[in-house]
Amino acid sequence: MKEKLKKIVADAIKEVNSALKEADVLNVKSKFLGKKSELSLLMKDIKNMSVEDKKIYGPLFNKIKTDLELKINEKLEEIQSKIDIHLDETLPTDEEIGSLHPISIVAKDVTDILKRMGFTIVNGPEMEKEYYNFEALNIPKTHPARDMQDTYWLSNNDLLRTHTSPNQVRAMQKFNAPLRICAPGRCFRNEDMDHSHETTFFQLEGMVIDKNVSISNLIYVMEGMLKEIFKSDVKVRLRPGFFPFVEPGFELDCSCLICGGKGCSTCKNSGWIELCPCGMIHPNVLKESNIDPEIYSGFAFGLGLTRLAMMKYKISDIRILNSGDLRKLSEFNIE
């Protein structure tokens, strides 16, 4: 028996070594390890052996099987690695290589930072219900704040969302409190276009709800996030701002990096760019989503991702970003 086994192993190794293609190796595998292989038939005989022989041949068969399997897998890997490095020299080498869009890059940068701070990324629809875009955010039908966010209405009375803030309501209603989410996404407004206003732009919503959340937490997170985004000292300022879904509300501006704060057409000669309004979540908004404002408090912010891409890559006209003009987009030295 031992001689028979020795011969099987020697034959198998010889055939594995001389195999050139993946299919050859698989054939050797089925020949030597398949159900009808000599080895499998001999293994079936174990049950008829004496107890002493069983003790010897049981482990021996197992060892032969695992050794052969290992050898076969090694050979398969060797052949596959050669396939991977096969070079087709007829392929053209002067093709232009694309790159990520500036907005995709800043969106990933910011979500990576927020993920490290414990935020979960969520998503909501671009075609949104009026309820989530306005009503649940404390902006009833007759509220003048609707004027600032005029949008495109769909025939079924839904709308193209004007901001990423509907994600606040969707997240609260899905996860309740406590929570820590961020939601990047495309927004739409019926807007007169200029250097810093588009009808289609990107924002990133952030929201934290927990017990004892205060304005200090809001400022700490805003500062930490912006420091990491710009990786340099960029001047920011916080001033009062009104949004019906926060109280108090703030406008967070950053000094215009296009003109260095001197004033230009991008910042409308003010030296500042509105980047990230924020505030403490209004009790009505918490109540609407069944969160008790006596127990929980929270803050939210709406970072203008398109404006952020403009500041980071010194793009003076927002319209370039949606133009799809690769000659223009490739001017930005983006890794």
Tell the residue number behind the tokens 């057409």, with chain if given. Answer: 265
Site string for ligand FA5, 199-238 (x = CB under 6 A): --x-x-----------------------------------
CB 154 within 8 A of CB 241: no
- For residue 198, the Cα-to-chain-centroid distance in whole angstroms is 24
Which residues 105-164 are close enough to bind ligand FA5 by CB under 6 A? 163
| Both structure tokens of 316 | 């003076």
Query: Total residues at the site for ligand FA5 (CB under 6 A)?
Result: 23
Q: Which stretch binds ligand FA5 (CB under 6 A): 39-47, 117-125, 257-265, 269-277?
A: 269-277
Residue type, 80: Q
Phi and psi torsions of 313, nearest 5° = -105, 15
Which residue in the block uniquely carries the two structure tokens 């501006």? Answer: 253
- Which C-beta is closer to ligand FA5: that of 128 or that of 198? 198
What angle in degrees, to the nearest 10, is found between the helix axes of 22-33 and 2-18?
170
Least separation in angstroms between CB 121 and ligand FA5: 16
Using the rule CB under 6 A, is 275 a contact of ligand FA5?
yes
Q: How far is the CB of 108 from ligand FA5 (least distance, A)?
A: 18
Q: Which of 138, 169, 198, 213 binds ligand FA5 (CB under 6 A)?
A: 198
Comparison of 32 and 201: residue with beta carbon closer to ligand FA5? 201
List 31, 101, 146, 197, residue binding ligand FA5 (CB under 6 A) = 197
Are 274 and 267 spatial neighbours (Cβ–Cβ below 8 Å)? no
Q: Does 302 bind ligand FA5 (CB under 6 A)?
A: yes
Position with the least CB separation from ligand FA5: 304
| 3-state DSSP percent of the chain in helix, strand and coil, to 5 | 45, 20, 35
User: Can you tell me which of 29, 75, 170, 189 binds ligand FA5, judged by CB under 6 A?
Assistant: 189
Q: Which is nearer to ligand FA5, 57 or 272 (CB)?
A: 272
Shortest distance (Å) from residue 196 CB to ligand FA5: 6
Question: Smallest distance from the beta carbon of 125 to ligand FA5, in angstroms?
Answer: 16
Least distance from ligand FA5 to the Cβ atom of residue 132, Å? 12
Q: Which residues contact residue 281 at a Cβ distance below 8 angstroms, ignoring those fewer than 6 apart?
A: 168, 207, 209, 245, 246, 297, 298, 299, 300
* Piece of 227-235, 257-265, 276-284, 320-328 that binds ligand FA5 (CB under 6 A): 276-284
Q: Are residues 24 and 79 in contact, defined by beta-carbon separation less than 8 angstroms?
A: no
Closest C-alpha among 311, 289, 322 to residue 165: 289
The answer for residues whose C-beta is within 8 angstroms of residue 110's C-beta and 6 or more apart is 182, 184, 204, 225, 229, 303, 305, 308
Q: In angstroms, give the least distance from the CB of 333 to ligand FA5.
A: 23
Residue 277 contacts ligand FA5 per CB under 6 A: yes
Least CB distance from residue 111 to ligand FA5, whole Å?
16
Q: Which residues pair with 183 in a beta bridge?
A: 205
DSSP annotation of 152 reads: P
Among 304, 311, 313, 315, binds ligand FA5 (CB under 6 A): 304
* Closest-CA residue to 303 (of 226, 218, 198): 226
Q: HSE-up of 325 (CA within 13 Å, CB side)?
A: 9
- Give the residues lining the site for ligand FA5 (CB under 6 A): 163, 165, 189, 191, 197-198, 201, 203, 243, 246, 249, 274-275, 277-279, 300-302, 304, 306-307, 318
